[in-house]
């Protein structure tokens, strides 16, 4: 006797298997992004700590407090590397993209070493853990929410532009109250970008899942979340660490 298979049951099983495969692929993709992003943040922190060891006698003090062109090279190098990676990702191999990402994390560590000369270690540690908790919660929200966050994307990007303009203006004005407002707004903007970018990266998976761009997309996604985390950390440090200055 030949067993008969209900085609509706078979179809349902196929859909469930396909959905399970998709979910597993998406989780693997996002986990790869998070791991690479976390590795970059860790490398940046280690380099920043080592470069600032010794206080006024550290390499950081010699480079950033004693003047010279090297200070400006280190300050602007990360920005150039971000544009190079983001703009040239289509022409790079995955290995080259990853190599540039790790190099960027190292240079960012050197650039951020000055925070150890300005803030106490306890203030930096407290802010880092607070940022990690906030970033995790916001990214989880962006990953799980059914609400479309694309509507706030343009607003948040405009907020970043406004922050840059305000920060440049305050370099000349040197206003304490304005600096406080800038830092508070910066925290809100990058908090929103963390959720928005996570949802955007999740949606990108559909386009890159079966393409040879998948690996490079992971690098670009890690860079995006890395920048969200670092900027959120810096604005929170300036906002929360005002009482933790050296």
Mean pLDDT, residues 91-105 taken together:
95
29 vs 214: CA distance, rounded Å: 8
Mean pLDDT, residues 133-147 taken together:
95
Q: Over 129-193, what HEC string results?
A: HHHHHHHHHHHHHHHHCCCCCHHHHHHHHHHHHHHHHHHHHHHHHCCHHHHHHHHHHHHHHHHHH
Residue 4 lies in a domain: no
* 172 phi/psi in degrees, rounded to 5: -95, -35
Residue 81 lies in a domain: yes
Residue 97 lies in a domain: yes
Domain count, the chain: 1
Residue 7 lies in a domain: no
Counting beta carbons within 10 angstroms of the beta carbon of residue 139, is it exposed (0 to 12), middle (13 to 18) or buried (19 or more)? buried
pLDDT winner (highest mean) among 36-45, 62-71, 201-210: 36-45
What would the pLDDT profile of 2-20 be if each residue is shown by its tens digit?
A: 455 555 555 555 555 556 6
Residue 190 lies in a domain: yes
What would the pLDDT profile of 187-196 be if each residue is shown by its tens digit?
A: 999 999 999 9
Q: Would you place residue 154 in the very low, low, confident or very high pLDDT band (cuts 50, 70, 90)?
A: confident
Q: Would you place residue 239 in the very low, low, confident or very high pLDDT band (cuts 50, 70, 90)?
A: confident
Residue 1 lies in a domain: no
Residue 5 lies in a domain: no
pLDDT value at residue 6: 55
Residue 84 lies in a domain: yes
**Beta bridge partner(s), residue 119:** 245
235 vs 169: CA distance, rounded Å: 17
DSSP code of 196? H
Domain that holds residue 52: 12-243
């Amino acid at each position: 006797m030949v067993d008969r298979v209900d085609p509706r049951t078979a179809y349902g099983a196929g859909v469930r298997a396909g959905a399970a495969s998709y979910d597993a692929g998406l989780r693997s993709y996002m986990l790869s992004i998070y791991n690479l992003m976390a590795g970059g943040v860790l490398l940046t922190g280690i380099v920043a700590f080592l470069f600032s060891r010794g206080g006024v006698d550290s390499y950081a003090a010699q480079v950033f407090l004693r003047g010279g062109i090297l200070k400006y090279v280190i300050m602007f190098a990360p920005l150039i590397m971000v544009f190079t990676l983001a703009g040239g990702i289509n022409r790079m191999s995955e290995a080259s993209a990853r190599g540039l990402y790790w190099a960027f994390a190292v240079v960012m560590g050197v650039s951020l070493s000055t925070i150890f000369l300005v803030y106490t270690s306890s203030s930096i540690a407290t802010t880092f853990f607070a940022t990690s908790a906030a970033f995790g919660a916001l990214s989880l929200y962006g990953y799980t929410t059914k609400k479309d966050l694309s509507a706030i994307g343009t607003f948040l990007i405009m907020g970043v532009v406004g922050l840059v303009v305000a920060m440049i203006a305050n370099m000349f004005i040197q206003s304490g109250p304005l600096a406080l407002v800038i830092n508070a707004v910066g925290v809100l903007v990058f908090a929103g970008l963390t959720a928005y970018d996570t949802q955007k990266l999740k949606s990108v998976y559909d386009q890159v899942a079966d393409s040879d761009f998948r690996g490079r997309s992971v690098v670009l996604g890690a860079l995006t979340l890395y920048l969200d985390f670092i900027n959120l950390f810096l604005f929170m440090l300036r906002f929360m660490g005002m009482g933790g200055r050296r």
